[in-house]
Structure 1
Amino acid sequence: MAEKAVNKPGGLRAQAKADVTRRIREAAETLFMTRDFGDVTTREIAQQAGIGEATLFRYVASKDELLTMIYGDQMQTLVDRLEAADDALAKLPLTVDRVLQRIYAFYEGRSEFFLLHPDNAARYLRQSYDLSSSGRERAMALGDRVVTRVTTILEKGQREGLVSDVVEASLVALNCHGAFLHEVNRTRTRGFEPETIWERVLVRLDAQLLPLMRSEEAGER
């Protein structure tokens, strides 16, 4: 006869802790997706989660850590999706247009991520340069995945004679990535409309990529 399942105290505590963690994350996401980081307080997050502020700090060290978790999860989902879409394109014959299409897709996707909430997204994206940030390593790793994929696309283009090999592919990929992050940072400091982010990034990508394309197709989109 099968033994009846028994809820052990440790299991109940773990379940309760997981429930509080979930409510904290959901509360933080709701607030960070609608308001600037500086306008959201830990007290509000705690209230939204249905807990006390002291309890909140038993689960997270700071408001920055919450932003890191929320936006880090969203960025990971985005990079996973972009890589999956690129895997499908990689099965098709490579052309100059397809080299460009595949690279543009990564930065158009990241531009759309930025537009979900420009100030908070910019704060998250800058974490890869902040030695004190708890999210630095994860943010760097996600950025490195994009740089690695763009490098791979360019190297294949070079092997097939579609892309000039006068410049190392990894350096071009790093420059593309740097251009995107620079435009993110320039949005507020230069007073640009956030909605122009992809337009500005595309101009910078074209400056990096089009001179390396070995076909008249490079001017077509």
Structure 2
Amino acid sequence: MVKQPKPETLAERTRRAVSNELVDAAQALFAEKGYEQVTIDEIAEATGISRRSFFRYFASKDELVLGRFDQQGEQYVDALNARPLDEPLWVALRRMADVTIAYVSDPELGRRASEMDRLIHSSESLRAGFLRRMEIAQGLVTDAARQRESVRGSDLSDIAIAATVAAAFSAIMVAGEQARAHGTSWARVFDEAMTALTPAHADTQHQPAQVETRSNGG
């Protein structure tokens, strides 16, 4: 069985919950009013905390734009660890991304994701922050995949595992780029990219059918 991470303390869970609430409130306001028009005071008021308390969680509005990606790695690791151990790594990585597909497929969350994506890619500093967070997420997933393959008794080398995870993350990035540029379905592009990048070692006979969703950015 894949080893589970140490449970969070009550203080850690509380901090995560407040941080997530701030991110949700801020991104909803950004999507409704526009990033420049929303103040930190408005975000704090929307979550029932003071301006001073806000800065205990985030240093700036920029961090709130990127907030959804701060936990991306942990979410992907949880999703990967939840996959059956008899499932080939490539298929498990495909199903891991269902957490993103669910997010961008939701009408309201998908609209918000599109707006945040537009903001991120209109700013060099935000884009750099986004890429850094995705790099961290890829590292966490790679570590989890190595542990998973060890438990499975896989004969994949560390390099093969790292390259397989990197290919899956490339598909994730391509899906976001295509959805942003052309308004295409994130899920459809992701599945197409995963098919194109399928490693020679991958057993895909149990690969699920493509998930069709609304055309939202991711």
So what's the TM-score if we normalise by structure 2?
0.58
3-state SS, counterpart of residue 24 of structure 2:
helix
- Secondary structure at 2:183 match in 1: coil
Q: Which among 165, 182, 203 is matched to residue 192 of structure 2?
A: 203
Q: Distance in 2 between matches of 1:148 and 1:104?
A: 17
Kept in 1, the 8 Å contact 2:44–2:50? The answer is yes
Given the alignment of the two structures, is residue 79 of structure 1 paired with residue 68 of structure 2, yes or no? Answer: no
How far the C-alpha of 1:65 sits from its partner, in A, is 1.6
Give the structure 2 partner of residue 101 of structure 1.
91
CA distances 1:143-195 after superposition (whole Å, capped 9, x unpaired)? 222244456778979728xxxx9x94432331221121121122122232xxx
Is the Cα–Cα contact under 8 Å of residues 183 and 200 in structure 1 kept in the other structure?
yes
One-letter code of the match for 1:111? I
Q: How does 1:79-158 map to 2 (within 5 A)?
A: 79-86=76-83, 89-90=84-85, 92=86, 98-115=88-105, 116-117=109-110, 118-119=113-114, 122=117, 133=129, 138-150=133-145
Superposition map of 1:55-66 within 5 A: 55=52, 58-59=55-56, 60-66=58-64
Cα 1:136–1:198 change in 2 (3 A) is closer
Q: Is the 8 A contact 1:179 1:201 kept in 2?
A: yes
TM-score with structure 1 length normalisation?
0.58
Q: Does 1:176 align with 2:168?
A: yes
Which structure has the highest helix share of the two? Answer: 1
The number of aligned residues is 184
What SS class does the counterpart of residue 209 from structure 1 fall into?
coil
Q: Hey, what's the Cα distance between the residues in 2 that align with 1:219 and 1:49?
A: 42
1:39–1:174 CA distance, 2 compared to 1 (3 A)? same
| Residue of structure 1 equivalent to 2:177 | 185
CA contact (8 A) 2:168 2:194 kept: yes
Q: 1 CA distance for matches of 2:178 and 2:195?
A: 18
Q: Which has the larger radius of gyration?
A: 1
**Cα offset for 1:201?**
0.6
Confirm or deny: 8 A CA contact 1:68 1:124 kept in the other structure.
Answer: no
Q: Deviation per CA, 1:181-218, whole angstroms, max 9, x where unpaired?
A: 121122122232xxx21121111111121654478x37
Q: Hey, what's the Cα distance between the residues in 2 that align with 1:22 and 1:122?
A: 23
- Whether 1:36 aligns to 2:31 is yes
Cα RMSD (Å) of the superposition? 4.6
Give how far 1:110 is off: 2.9
Structure 2 residue identity aligned to 1:199: R
Q: CA deviation at 1:114?
A: 4.0
Q: 1:154 to 1:37 in 2, by over 3 A?
A: farther
- 2-side partners of 1:82 and 1:198: how far apart? 16
Residues 174, 193 of structure 2: 8 Å contact kept: no
Larger RCO (alpha carbons 8 Å, 6+ apart): 2
Structure 1: give runs of 5+ residues left out of the alignment.
Answer: 1-14
Deviates more, 1:196-205 or 1:111-120: 111-120
Identity of counterpart residues, as a percentage?
13
